Amino acid sequence: MTDMDIFEKQAFGKKLGIGHRAAVLVIDFQVGFTSDAKFGGYNINDAIANTVDLLAAAREVNMPVAHVRFIAQQGGFDIGPFGEKVPNLRELTADNPDSAFVTTVAPIAGEYVAEKRHASAFFGTTLSSWIISNNVDTLFIAGCTTSGCVRAAAVDASAYGLRPMVVADCVGDRAQGPHEFALWDLSQKYADIMSLAEVKQYMQTLEMAVAA
Amino acid sequence: MTDMDIFEKQAFGKKLGIGHRAAVLVIDFQVGFTSDAKFGGYNINDAIANTVDLLAAAREVNMPVAHVRFIAQQGGFDIGPFGEKVPNLRELTADNPDSAFVTTVAPIAGEYVAEKRHASAFFGTTLSSWIISNNVDTLFIAGCTTSGCVRAAAVDASAYGLRPMVVADCVGDRAQGPHEFALWDLSQKYADIMSLAEVKQYMQTLEMAVAA
Amino acid sequence: MTDMDIFEKQAFGKKLGIGHRAAVLVIDFQVGFTSDAKFGGYNINDAIANTVDLLAAAREVNMPVAHVRFIAQQGGFDIGPFGEKVPNLRELTADNPDSAFVTTVAPIAGEYVAEKRHASAFFGTTLSSWIISNNVDTLFIAGCTTSGCVRAAAVDASAYGLRPMVVADCVGDRAQGPHEFALWDLSQKYADIMSLAEVKQYMQTLEMAVAA
Amino acid sequence: MTDMDIFEKQAFGKKLGIGHRAAVLVIDFQVGFTSDAKFGGYNINDAIANTVDLLAAAREVNMPVAHVRFIAQQGGFDIGPFGEKVPNLRELTADNPDSAFVTTVAPIAGEYVAEKRHASAFFGTTLSSWIISNNVDTLFIAGCTTSGCVRAAAVDASAYGLRPMVVADCVGDRAQGPHEFALWDLSQKYADIMSLAEVKQYMQTLEMAVAA
């Protein structure tokens, strides 16, 4: 029996489907994650390029959009053990150019923006509040890294009662193995994995519904 | 460059070390996780057997101990999308024998006990409050599954400012691949991985310190 | 200038209004709160009687309903400083008849139920998850005490992005002064105060909308 | 029987006492709260003046210090119903001079700083994480307003297992009635009320302990 067999035998990995109202969440597309000398690598830059499309489609149908990024205080004492485990994270202070949102996928007026000090986009932010006040029950998730902050957000999204849709073309990791394992693992327990094409098609149906 | 190379190049995976005051957290050692026909498999039963030792050592030195288990309401509507993704979880109601703590590692009087409805031991529980009122800054983590609820607890523990020490011999998964990947991934970003022998040795130094 | 004048001058206390989808939250109507020898007093029993009506009206229109109650572990060590401040709370263990839901306003099948160890219905529960998975953005709040757990839930509801509607006839306190001050204070900063008649009228409009 | 009698009869209002390790929390001492034309009034400016002393004493003994302030995004859509209830809060954006920390009690290097969008200093911040990673179990609370954000922080601090010590001389409100009621109510259920003199005396005992 392979690893996958036991998940299938125990009926893991059923499909969630999209709920009544969706939003887009973009995670940690910061300058420092575009370079493999810093926090980047593998397919993160591809994910950023694809997220330009995702954001354009979402904004076209007035879908709510949220952005989070990682910021530590000077010295990084505020991120606790996370900074001991990954010391370079302490460098991502507000005034470090590596902390800035990548321009092509940066927030525009009216979009929710939060700074976080840990992996999950929900931890120590008011993301869940913005979600509730917008009646959102489904999240299209883009960002990096797939096995780190994207995964943490998807797990928390499920815990908060949301339907996490990880947009496969719009999430990236610094290494291939973790990227692929995370997508498989998320699909078994917490999230649906969708292609960018599928998400854009869904958004077009919303647009037609509005136009009708 | 292998996957591991880039994590090393970016200085991931530094050692946390144990803090000033530790507690033990035991996750989801419930009857249903002892059988591969339900939620179990691979090395979960070994992890339970080893946790008998871990708990004995912790209780010997009066280290605080917390236990969490997964419980859904009748019908499972309360666990939301988690129950749509993994329908069998809806069966783990309070009156289902599969939901009971495994006897050999069950809570005793004075130990913190919480029921949870999602992966993380912190989500929707007062675990962080019990941790603060006990001045705890370090968690020795046992339980299952390594890639699921143990991982979620370790990620949240790090976010809450704790030093998560995953006790390798005391965590188990339904499949080997997810178990091993989760240990490696946790060690890179959020937690130290310790053997049961190392943890017991640390506990003995506490006992000697008290006796001295 | 009176106390009220400065709140008016600074434009506090605007009306929220009901959002797109409402639920009912019933807080701490437990046997021990029906007696002024335990945790009760003043108008709590009146609030319970009125909540019978509120629940009937809500169930008639299939409005989602949530119930929370306070439960401590044996010895009460798990509630931390709250038990040092109010020692009698430590007595409200699961097997104490005073901890039981008052029969006339007890949960029925399909309604969300959570146990809490602190004042707020949101703290250490999955109430916010149930709210999100039901697309709820408005809460009709009943329960006790107005100045304690009702207030804490209303403040947290606002923080979570919800529109808290405190049902004046359905909330009670052990003393009149705290009851009245809490209603005024909540109305200034966090919540609308509605009468039971107004809430029932709103529910009837929903019923007609469904019937139409 | 007066209101106070029933609280005494039910044994509310016992003393918590200081725990093993304390920190100072300063809440919302922002320029806009110094003027009764904006968010200020009554005794807030006195509280700020007294907090200068509190901070000096805390820094003398290297006690950890945290500061929080309220910030909304442009347009205030991100604060949800809170901004509908109190519209002026939407003006407190990051670039509004009224949002700035009052200079005399502003953070210095190494002190924890967080921005919040709701009443409680804990909600949507990582304050609890900083508390855990510093082994803190007691909070000396200064700030404004007593009946609003100070109260919310004290209630949440209790829920998080902390011992909240509200420093009476260092908290202020825009009106006298809410200030006084909040102090009484907090003292009954969640917090101890201490004078600045008492807190400074405690800090001096720490200093002597270090010197000894």
Q: Is D68:D36 a contact under the CB 8 Å cutoff?
A: no
CB contact under 8 A, B19 and D135: yes
| Residue B1 scores a pLDDT above 90 | no
Choose from D73, D95, D127 for mutation: most chain A CBs within 10 A: D73
CA-CA distance, A113 to A121, in Å (whole number)?
A: 11
What per-residue confidence (pLDDT) applies to C210?
66
CA-CA distance, B94 to B92, in Å (whole number)?
A: 7
Choose from D132, D138, D158 for mutation: most chain B CBs within 10 A: D132
CA-CA distance, B130 to D158, in Å (whole number)?
A: 11
| CATH class belonging to D20-206 | alpha beta
Collect all residues of chain D within an 8 Å Cβ-Cβ radius of residue A83: none
Neighbouring subunits of C (3+ Cβ pairs under 8 A):
A, B, D
Sign of the CA dihedral running C170, C175, C176, C181: negative
The mean pLDDT of B82-98, rounded to a whole number, is 98
What kind and span of H or E run contains A139? strand A138-144
Distance from CA of B163 to the nearest CA of D (A): 8
What per-residue confidence (pLDDT) applies to D175?
97
Question: What single-letter amino acid sits at B77?
Answer: F
Distance from CA of B140 to the nearest CA of D (A): 16
CB contact under 8 A, D132 and B20: no
Instruction: Tell me the DSSP string of A61-123.
Output: TT--EEEEEE-B-TTSGGGTHHHHHSGGGGG-BTT-GGGSBPGGG---TTSEEEEESSS-TTT
What kind and span of H or E run contains D63? none
What per-residue confidence (pLDDT) applies to A75?
97
Q: Is D142:D166 a contact under the CB 8 Å cutoff?
A: no
Q: Which residue of A has its CA nearest to D66?
A: A78
Regions of chain D where pLDDT drops below 50: none
CA-CA distance, C122 to B112, in Å (whole number)?
A: 20
What per-residue confidence (pLDDT) applies to D1?
67
Tally Cβ neighbours within 10 Å of residue A209: 9
What kind and span of H or E run contains B76? none
Q: C19-211 — its CATH code?
A: 3.40.50.850
Q: Which residue of A has its CA nearest to D125?
A: A124
What per-residue confidence (pLDDT) applies to A1?
67
What per-residue confidence (pLDDT) applies to D212?
64
CB contact under 8 A, B130 and C80: yes
CB contact under 8 A, C132 and A132: yes
**SS3 per-residue string spanning D74-108:** CCCHHHCHHHHHCHHHHHCECCCHHHCECHHHCCC
Tokens 């999430």 — which residue? A171
Give residue-wise pLDDT tens across range C140-149: 999 999 999 9
- Preceding omega of B138 cis (within 30 degrees of 0): no
Nearest Cα to Cα of residue D111 among D64, D154, D156, D148: D64
Give residue-wise pLDDT tens across range B38-55: 999 999 999 999 999 999
CB contact under 8 A, B161 and D129: yes
| Residue C171 scores a pLDDT above 90 | yes
Q: A21-205 — its CATH code?
A: 3.40.50.850
Model's pTM, two decimal places?
Answer: 0.97
Residue B189, SS3 per DSSP: helix
Give Cβ neighbours of residue C87 (< 8 Å, ≥ 6 apart). C76, D11, D14
**Cross-chain CB nearest to A3 (options B17, B80, B177):** B177
Neighbouring subunits of A (3+ Cβ pairs under 8 A):
B, C, D
What per-residue confidence (pLDDT) applies to C3?
84
Q: What percent of chain C has pLDDT over 90?
A: 95
Nearest Cα to Cα of residue A140 among A159, A162, A161: A162
Collect all residues of chain B within an 8 Å Cβ-Cβ radius of residue D131: 132, 161
Any idea where the domains of chain D sit in the sequence? 20-206
What per-residue confidence (pLDDT) applies to C207?
76
Choose from B127, B132, B139, B162 for mutation: most chain D CBs within 10 A: B132
Question: What single-letter amino acid sits at C109?
Answer: A
| Residue C212 scores a pLDDT above 90 | no
CB contact under 8 A, D129 and B19: no
The mean pLDDT of C156-185, rounded to a whole number, is 98
Collect all residues of chain D within an 8 Å Cβ-Cβ radius of residue B126: 159, 161
Please report the ipTM that was assigned to this predicted complex: 0.97
What per-residue confidence (pLDDT) applies to C167?
98
| Residue C103 scores a pLDDT above 90 | yes
| Residue B212 scores a pLDDT above 70 | no
List the catalytic residues of C. Answer: 149
Nearest Cα to Cα of residue B84 among A31, C1, A18: A18
Distance from CA of C142 to the nearest CA of D (A): 19
CA-CA distance, B120 to B27, in Å (whole number)?
A: 9
**Cross-chain CB nearest to B126 (options C75, C113, C118):** C118
Catalytic residue among B149, B153, B166, B182: B149
CB contact under 8 A, A10 and B39: yes
What tokens were used for B4? 């591991």
CB contact under 8 A, C133 and B109: no
Sign of the CA dihedral running B54, B56, B62, B68: positive
Q: Pick one of 3.40.50.2300, 3.40.50.300, 3.40.50.850, 3.40.190.10 as the CATH number of B20-211.
A: 3.40.50.850
Residue A7 Cα distances to B38, B120, B194, D149, angstroms: 10, 20, 27, 47
| Residue B210 scores a pLDDT above 90 | no
CB contact under 8 A, C133 and A20: no
Collect all residues of chain A within an 8 Å Cβ-Cβ radius of residue D115: 115
Regions of chain A where pLDDT drops below 70: 1, 210-212
